Structure 1
Amino acid sequence: MATVSWLRVRLQTWRGRFWQRTVAALLLPVPVTEFPDYLKKARDYDGKGAESRRSRWISDGNSLKKLPVHIGFVVAEEELSYTDIANLVVWCMAVGISHVSVYDHHGIFQKNHVCLQEEIVKQQQSLLGGDDSRYNMDLLKNNTDKPQHFVVSCRPIVKVLSPEDGKHSIVQAARKLCHSVEKKEWSAKDISVSMLDILLRESKNTPDPELVVKFGPVNSTLGFLPWHIRLTEFISLPSHKNVSYEDLFTVLQQYNACQQRLGQ
């Protein structure tokens, strides 16, 4: 009998502790980070988030009196992040910049332009939503100007450049002038800076970049379109990794505030 009584007391004690723990667990606040992934995705990708972001970015673009038509991103870092560059391209789309150039000194982005293209499309769908054709793009590689991604809209244009598009294009244009003189199509007197300028602009078929954002510690343009940056505003950021929209918009605000005297 003593043993039975002892077991009854232990059972009642265990039941009491069990219910206390159960009630306490139900009353404790659940951290947001512990919500299931599918609930967080449903909350973040219900379409309202993308619409809100689009509205904000369009409003930010409209708030600037001076917005570059062509912006260049020069990456002077050894490790490259396709996702971060894709985010920059998508943000430029959203604020209303129609030409974007991506450049690194080793030409890695150009060699892997398909990976960059896929990442841009992925981030476009994630940040802007996948049902807005206004943000479709043409991705051009090298100086062939042949679209690598066929789209409904021709805006914006994304170019992936390498050193071959810089000094090398100047050398090619100079050779073309020399061959024309040899063939007596032109005379030596016809060769001028303006003629070389015409040839280079025909090969690029894009406006000069008004703004270039350089990422990394190197104080150099690294050969980025040397002929086309005579009037370009350069702004440096420490790194393109983990770059935020606020970083980009701050740069655009700096460009909006700068006064270009153009030699005056």
Structure 2
Amino acid sequence: MIEIVGYFLYNIIFQSLILLKLVIYYYQLLSFKTRNIISQLFMYLYIKTPNNYIDYINTTIDYNKTLNCSDNDKKQRQQQQQQQSTITKNKQQQQPTISTPKHLALILNHRDQIRSLINTTETINFYNKISEILIWSVIVGIKRITIFDNHGSLKKNISVFQNLLDNKIKPFNNNNNNNTNTNSSKLEKQTIYRFNWLNNFKTITSNVETSDINSRILNISIVTVEDGKQELINITKKYINDSKVNSNLILNELYVNSNLPNFISGDDFEPEVALDFSDKHLFSGFLPWHIKLTEFIKMDHFNQFYLERFHQFLKKYNSVQKRCGK
């Protein structure tokens, strides 16, 4: 009798927990959609041109402030003093600002990628969401993004995504060009947004002359699960062959980095923060020493990741104490 009662209570508790989890999930989803509707309504009333959209994105973001962990302690102290002074000034003006990372890692959810392959509409929606994140990033001044494609579908169909991104950024550049032509008396340079693909797929450029413009370039890398593992294997093989010629050759980080392909190398490859949409942390596309200082911030509901949540993500990144490994 006791076993039956215990089993009955266990089922009730188990089912209640499942029901509670579902309620929380749909509450969050409904909350995201509600806030997005309000945000979209405000944007519809306020935004009439691409420049209005850029101003709206930059409303609460100071994209000039960054933290470089390679600087010496003196520079770090100066930066901290400047940041503290800026914070104090902002509090007085009641206009909070947000600093942006130089390098952002974007980790996609495997299930979202599988869902995007169901039909063309799902694929376009998936690519649209990624392109929105990239456009927001280049507007606020992020210099580099590494997209972790754990499924591999994005890298295989990169040309479709590139064309979509190219079409989405054109209105911003064309609008800037028109404003420059109609307001030639102004001394302000027009801003042109560009994307440089480090995988050597192609570079999206504009038809505007390079003189008298302010180019803002976002370097984009796409890595898969195989990249990190395979490149270590390739470098190990190369080291074995090179060591036969030079017995004094040392296998160190400098040697490894100098032999890595461009899309997973460089002085600024180490991401400062990762926007993680995966169900669990997936690091196999990154090299171990490249993420030793990376702050991983989990996010869910990729399809509901709107501009408001992008701002919240940057605010959360700013709230994290940046100790640079100390």
User: Do both proteins adopt the same fold according to a TM-score greater than 0.5, normalized to the shorter chain?
Assistant: yes
Q: Distance in 2 between matches of 1:206 and 1:249?
A: 27
Counterpart contact for 1:90–1:124, Cα < 8 Å: yes
For residue 116 of structure 1, the aligned residue among 161, 177, 180 is: 161
Q: Distance in 1 between matches of 2:156 and 2:219?
A: 18
Moved more, 152-161 or 97-106: 152-161
1:224 matched to 2:282? The reply is no
Correspondence for 2:236: 174
Counterpart contact for 1:138–1:157, Cα < 8 Å: yes
TM-score, normalising length: structure 1: 0.71
Q: Distance in 2 between matches of 1:55 and 1:243?
A: 20
Do the aligned partners of residues 237 and 50 (structure 1) sit closer, same or farther apart at CA in structure 2, a change above 3 Å counting?
A: same
For residue 238 of structure 1, the aligned residue among 289, 292, 300 is: 300
Q: CA RMSD in A?
A: 2.8
1:137 matched to 2:195? The reply is yes
Structure 1 residues 44-96: Cα deviation after superposition (integer angstroms, max 9, x where no partner): 6xx83321111122343316453211111111232331110011000101111
Q: 1:157: Cα distance to partner?
A: 1.2
For residue 99 of structure 1, the aligned residue among 124, 144, 154 is: 144
For residue 109 of structure 2, the aligned residue among 76, 79, 83 is: 76
- Unpaired stretches in structure 2, ≥5 consecutive residues: 1-43, 63-95, 114-125, 177-190, 207-214
Do the aligned partners of residues 158 and 196 (structure 1) sit closer, same or farther apart at CA in structure 2, a change above 3 Å counting?
A: closer
- Unpaired stretches in structure 1, ≥5 consecutive residues: 1-43
Do the aligned partners of residues 167 and 237 (structure 1) sit closer, same or farther apart at CA in structure 2, a change above 3 Å counting?
A: same
Q: 1:198: Cα distance to partner?
A: 4.2
Q: 1:123: Cα distance to partner?
A: 2.7
Decide which structure has the larger Cα Rg and report it: 1
Count of aligned pairs: 214
Percent identity among equivalent residues? Answer: 19
Counterpart contact for 2:226–2:285, Cα < 8 Å: no
Moved more, 152-161 or 232-241: 152-161
1:258 matched to 2:320? The reply is yes
SS at match of 2:275: strand
Q: 1:172: Cα distance to partner?
A: 1.6
SS at match of 1:166: helix
For residue 148 of structure 1, the aligned residue among 196, 199, 202 is: 202
Equivalences for residues 5-20 of structure 1 within 5 A: none
Q: Distance in 2 between matches of 1:206 and 1:114?
A: 27
- 2:194 counterpart letter in structure 1: N
Q: 1:102: Cα distance to partner?
A: 1.5
TM-score, normalising length: structure 2: 0.58
- Relative to its length, the structure with more helix (as a share) is 2
Counterpart contact for 1:181–1:187, Cα < 8 Å: yes
SS at match of 2:112: coil
Q: Distance in 2 between matches of 1:186 and 1:246?
A: 56
Q: Distance in 1 between matches of 2:165 and 2:304?
A: 16
For residue 222 of structure 2, the aligned residue among 148, 155, 160 is: 160
